[in-house]
Chains A and B, each alone.
Chain A
Amino acid sequence: MHDHDHDHDHSHGEGGFHSPRPESEIELRTRALEALLVSRGLASTDAIDAVIDHYATDVGPQNGARVIARAWVDPEYRARLLDDGATAIAELGFGGEEGHTMVVCENTPDVRNVIVCTLCSCYPWPVLGLPPSWYKSAPYRSRVVAEPRAVLCEFGVRVPDEVEIRVWDSTAEIRYLVLPLRPPGTEGMGEDELAALVTRDSMIGTGDPLAPAGVRA
């Protein structure tokens, strides 16, 4: 079972709009639907648990971090990754639902990529897991395509004027992963050490990789 049931349930909808106690009704209806499906034998408690566990533990940004670290140390892998994302990602054993067709966007000193889905919440599940709440929120979905520098500031990221921001709106079945710049001071590091520096947000474009210990960010 799960140890991350939080008690700070958010009962608001979008953009801080508070509607009157919708959550208890939703919670009750969710339980009713589960009860109905389980009692009819159409779903089972352990299968529901397994779906949640799969995306809580087996699949997550730790997968994407392996992909990025490999691309940082292996130029031929990096070339294959940029050429055909899903096939190169499958070399490391990752793929499937919400990641069948993948495009990897490479950051350079002159270009910074940011991923969004303005229409819903499309996100590359096999490499990043399920999306964080802010990615699915109206403020992010509406504004990152209109004022990306302002939105990135809300993540503590300041992008110099001369850097081109490229915002990728995932409006079809293609899913995106950002290949962030390898941090300075990581020369000689192995893949495991490098993967530990790759944050989820650095693969969405709203953050940067961590700086290695002893190097000022």
Chain B
Amino acid sequence: MDGAYDMGGMATFGAVDAADDAVFHARWEERAFGISMIAMCEGLASGGGLRETMYAMHPAVYLTTPYYGRWLHAIEQLMVASGTITSAEVDAWVQRLRAGEAVPASSDSALTQRTVAAFDERLVRPLPATARFAVGDPVRVRRMWPRDENHAPRYLRGVPGVIERVQCEDPPPGSDGHAAEPVYAVRFSSTDVFGAQEEPPFTILADLWESYLEADA
């Protein structure tokens, strides 16, 4: 589903604040990240994908929620969807904390070891056994109006490009459990994407699943 997350090519967000380079700005951001990673590693949030849930946020909410606020929103939604917790239980703890109760502390060394070990697990995505396109082939990103999670950015849809690399085989994102298919790095000319600009032309490359592409004569 197309939403406010897909912002490539927009011009109205202003200058980059390059000095704002901290990973976390506040303790709650760290906690939201830590809670989310544990929930995902432990299978507490299996009601869908974290990214998909952020992508589905109302645009006005997405744009005005801080980065780790989106994580918090998504992980709570997913833990509710998977039946781990209810929103009412979170609401009840909000009231208890407002009334002055402290967050309980606990120690679980097995959970700690299991979680950190999970980050180091390696996964090899194989090269596709068969691929429709080869390096150098002209392609075009399909026009589409996807109903579920999709990673073909709007700014590239309908644009012609050239296969730069055959990357791997991987299931495309989305809620209906698609089979694995080839992923390609596709090369685009900035002129094809944005027309003539003040800046000299440049090159854009994006990773696109085979089903997002069609042959371009």
What residues of chain A have their CB less than 8 Å away from a CB belonging to chain B?
2, 4-6, 8-17, 19, 22-23, 26-52, 54-56, 59, 86, 90, 95-97, 100-101, 103, 116, 118-121, 129-134, 136-151, 154-156, 161, 164-174, 206
Contacts and interface: CB of A to CB of B under 8 A. Distances in A.
Contacts of B202: 148-149, 164-167
A148 B204 CA distance: 10
Contacts of B100: none
B177 interface: no
B179 interface: no
Given A22-B69, A49-B34, A164-B203, A143 B13 contact: yes
Contacts, number: 325
A54 to B, nearest CB: 5
Given A95-B122, A168-B185, 10 more contacts: A10-B25, A17-B64, A31-B103, A33-B35, A38-B104, A119-B51, A133-B20, A139-B15, A149-B202, A170-B207
A47 B109 CA distance: 7
Given A134-B21, A149-B199, A165-B202, A48 B34 contact: yes
29 contacts: A8-B25, A14-B64, A23-B28, A31-B97, A36-B89, A46-B112, A55-B33, A96-B119, A96-B122, A119-B55, A119-B153, A120-B54, A130-B23, A130-B33, A132-B23, A136-B67, A137-B20, A142-B8, A142-B9, A143-B10, A147-B11, A147-B199, A154-B18, A156-B18, A169-B205, A171-B152, A171-B208, A172-B208, A173-B125
A43 B33 contact: no
B66 A154 contact: no
B6 interface: yes
A174 B168 CA distance: 9
Given A52-B30, A119-B151, A174-B168, A142 B10 contact: yes
A142 B106 contact: no
Contacts of B8: 116, 118-119, 141-142, 145-146, 169
Interface in B23-63: 23-28, 30-35, 37-39, 42, 44, 51, 54-55, 63
